[in-house]
């Protein structure tokens, strides 16, 4: 078997991918971006492992031997599933490998923003704390999570973990199902307008689709509380970045924590790049999933997907 890893660095060079060699000859590329690079690198492959590289008719038409595409990710929007199915190419993803880390990062950002930690850290390090004549300083008010309403879009594995943690903090949890098909009975399901109006914290854990693209737009942001904190650890295009910038600048919501933005890496043309106040906006570089443990699990799960495929089993196949 000839196996090509198109984006070796997507799981980090500190995590080994040697186990993939159990199945054949492996060629690994640090990164693969362009259509031309993908087409050239997969042309002799039997199995392709990718993350963001485009895998569609344009890049796969000259790769007659490809039988399996393994995502080093849960998302698979880089793959044309219809085309792959027409070719008999199975596409697999990895699931639930980073749930704990994404949930942890959700609260890391929410707590930093709600407690104004950037301000108070800078206050101490600037020397202002040492120069004052009292033991404490709380010049910018901050509030407890207990008793607040935590709204969730996307009650999958990550959404449910966030809901449990929020409950442990003493929050009331509500959620909105984009498709209306959620079977979750553990928390109240509400309509979108209610979610926006009632949430003190609103965290996004949904996939990107026609239903969720720009779900949080200017109209939605205007329906939120002025004291609300928005957290997006889903996909960047679920939030209209220009509308969010205006909402933050104009005080329509209090703060936002983003691990994802519309186009990655963050472009200087994105108005959010101009907002330097970390008490209003924290942006991390799409790392919520990327603990050492999670990245190790990601590789192991891809290994198991390949092993299952070679046994004739359907494991994590997204285009059956």
Instruction: State how far the Cα of 132 lies from the Cα of 69, in Å rounded to an integer.
Output: 61
State yes or no: is 246 an active-site residue.
no
User: Is 115 assigned a catalytic role?
Assistant: no
How far apart, in whole angstroms, are the C-alpha atoms of residue 187 and residue 62?
49
Say which of 235, 295, 297, 303 is annotated catalytic: 235
CA distance 38 to 174: 43
Among 39, 87, 119, 286, the one annotated catalytic? 286
226-247: b (≥16 Cβ within 10 Å) or e: eebbbbbbbbbbbbbbebbbeb
Handedness of CA 139, 145, 147, 152 (dihedral sign): positive
Please identify which of the residues 264, 267, 293, 313 carries the catalytic annotation.
Answer: 264
Check if 119 is active-site. Answer: no
Q: What CA–CA distance (Å, rounded) separates 294 from 292?
A: 6
Contact in structure between 17 and 8 (CB atoms under 8 Å): yes
Q: Among the residues of 79-229, which ranges form H helices? A: 81-87, 99-114, 117-125, 128-131, 157-168, 192-198, 218-222
Specify burial of residue 13 (Cβ count, 10 A radius: 0-12, 13-18, 19+). exposed
Active-site amino acid positions: 235, 264, 286
């Amino acid at each position: 078997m000839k196996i090509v890893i198109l984006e070796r660095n997507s799981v980090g060079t500190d995590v080994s991918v040697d186990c993939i060699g159990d199945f054949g000859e492996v060629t690994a590329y640090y990164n693969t971006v362009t259509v031309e690079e993908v087409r050239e690198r997969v042309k002799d492959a039997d199995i392709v492992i990718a993350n963001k590289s485009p895998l569609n008719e344009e890049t796969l038409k000259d790769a007659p031997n490809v039988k399996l595409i393994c995502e080093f990710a849960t998302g698979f929007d880089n793959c044309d599933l219809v085309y792959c199915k027409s070719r008999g190419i199975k596409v697999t993803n990895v699931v639930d490998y980073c749930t704990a880390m994404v949930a942890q990062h959700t609260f890391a950002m929410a707590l930093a923003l709600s407690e104004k930690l950037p301000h108070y850290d800078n206050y101490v390090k600037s020397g202002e704390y040492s120069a004052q004549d009292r033991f404490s300083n709380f010049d910018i008010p901050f509030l407890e999570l207990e008793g607040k309403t935590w709204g969730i879009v996307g009650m999958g594995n990550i959404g449910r973990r966030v809901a449990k943690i929020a409950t442990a903090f003493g929050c009331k949890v509500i959620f909105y199902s984009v498709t209306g098909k959620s079977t979750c009975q553990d928390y109240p399901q509400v309509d979108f307008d209610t979610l926006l109006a009632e949430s003190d914290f609103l965290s996004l854990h949904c996939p990107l689709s026609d239903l969720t693209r720009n779900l949080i737009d200017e109209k939605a942001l205007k329906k939120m509380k002025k004291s609300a904190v928005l957290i997006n650890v889903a996909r960047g295009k679920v939030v209209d970045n220009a509308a969010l910038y205006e909402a933050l600048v104009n005080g329509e919501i209090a703060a936002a924590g983003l691990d994802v933005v519309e186009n990655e890496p963050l472009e200087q043309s994105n108005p959010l790049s101009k907002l330097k106040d970390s008490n209003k906006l924290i942006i991390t570089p799409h790392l919520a999933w990327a603990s050492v443990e999670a990245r190790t699990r990601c590789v192991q799960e891809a290994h198991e997907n390949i092993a299952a495929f070679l046994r004739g089993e359907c494991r994590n196949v997204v285009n059956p």
